[in-house]
Amino acid sequence: MKLTNNKIYLALIFASLGHFLVDFMIGILPVYKTMQGLDIAKVGLIAGLCAFIGEGVQIYFGPLGDKGYRKLLLMLGLAGSVGACCFSYTTDYTLIFLMYLMTCIGSGAFHPSAVGIISNLTATKKSLFIGIFAAAGAFGIATSQLIFANTFVWLGGHTLVLGIPAFILIFFVWRKLQEAPSKAPVSTENRLTLFRNFFKRKDLRNLYFATVCNQSLAWGLIFLLPDALKSMGYDSWIYLGGGHLFFVIGGAFAMAPAGYLADLYSPRVVMLTSIAVGATALYIFLFSPMLPVFALCSVLFVAGAAIGLNNPVAVSFGNRLMPEHPGVVNACLMGLVWCISEGIGQTGGGLLTTLFEDNAPVKALMILGFVCVPQFAAAFALPDKAEETKPQIETA
């Protein structure tokens, strides 16, 4: 069944709005722990474990979507993500764990199916459509903390209202969404062989390791930034979402220019430059006792831009290095990276705060920032151009 233009753009709108809403929910937990003064280490353990499970279930949801259940998984993913709206009704760690687990599993159900729908909509505008979809998610997570914190204050903690748009979208997806037929799914045996081949290649291993380091720092910053800003003495609007907004928006705005520069020069050069710029901006922020608001937001924007552009550049580079299997590359450099990095960044960052008594979040970020060193080394070992890499598998 070939979709009409109206159906194609309607599917793009539904998937992008869903991405905004799901990623919006993912961004709430870091600011809620700061608002309620929850134990950073305990919440870090919750965030890391839930993210690991939620990203891990994509292994099952992806093939299920390929079998024709993408629309259903889209709806279930949106419904599950609403668990984050219920945080404000409890400070019990067990309940928070269950709510966030529900959100992360919802995210794991939503993302592979939404990307699958977007990828099948067009052959000529695939990059544009995926770019719109990615930008929607970035703006969702960027605005999540400010909107949640202000809704909490304005409505006296009744934040369940933030889940209403998700259920409205579920209704329209159910009634209106039509998706293009997908290709036959890859068998489990073939999929495992392709994953093994990915990690047998030195260039792809280096790319994977560099991306894990980058995303670990990104998730650690998202998790600890509200507490770091609060401990540094900034105004409440800054630590309750304002600083987070500028950090994440920086990455969103940098993605398109970074992709252009990677095509013009090389992904390796862009990645190495961004690592140096990101580390510099991060430590300027951490070692400055009190910056003017404009300077603070500028530094966070630059740090977010430099750190945020690495993942899409790496995914694009990976697809050039292994063009014959884009699904495997995307699964490894997105789902499998996030599965590990969210645990390192959030759980690791949270546990690091237990080593200090004063300014613990700031000092934890100072230590976590050292992942830039192995990241730079791994990126330095990458080839300048994908064409220079021979697709031979190492036997040693």
Confidence of residue 394 (pLDDT cuts 50, 70, 90): very low
Q: Is the per-residue pLDDT at 391 higher than 50?
A: no
For position 186, what pLDDT does the model report?
A: 56
pLDDT-above-70 percentage for the chain: 90
Domains of the chain (ranges, CATH numbers): 1-177 (1.20.1250.20), 191-387 (1.20.1250.20)
Give the model confidence (pLDDT) of 77-111 as tens digits. 999 999 999 999 999 999 999 999 999 999 988 88
Residue pLDDT, tens place only, 109-137: 888 888 778 777 776 666 677 778 888 88
In SS3 terms, the chain reads as: CCCCHHHHHHHHHHHHHHHHHHHHHHCHHHHHHHHHCCCHHHHHHHHHHHHHHHHHCHHHHHHHHHHHHHHHHHHHHHHHHHHHHHHHHCCCHHHHHHHHHHHHHHHHHHHHHHHHHHHCCCCCCHHHHHHHHHHHHHHHHHHHHHHHHHHHHHCCCCHHHHHHHHHHHHHHHHHHCCCCCCCCCCCHHHHHHHHHHHHHCHHHHHHHHHHHHHHHHHHHHHHHHHHHHHHCCCCHHHHHHHHHHHHHHHHHHHHHHHHHHHHHCCHHHHHHHHHHHHHHHHHHHHHCCCCCHHHHHHHHHHHHHHHHCHHHHHHHHHHHHCCCCHHHHHHHHHHHHHHHHHHHHHHHHHHHHHHCCCCHHHHHHHHHHHHHHHHHHHHHCCCCCHHHCCCCCCCC
At residue 179 the predicted structure's pLDDT band, cuts being 50, 70 and 90, is low
Per-residue pLDDT tens over the stretch 232-275: 999 999 999 999 999 999 988 887 788 778 878 888 999 999 99
% of the chain at pLDDT higher than 90? 55
pLDDT of 314 reads 87
What pLDDT does residue 189 have? 53
Q: For 43-50, what is the mean pLDDT?
A: 94
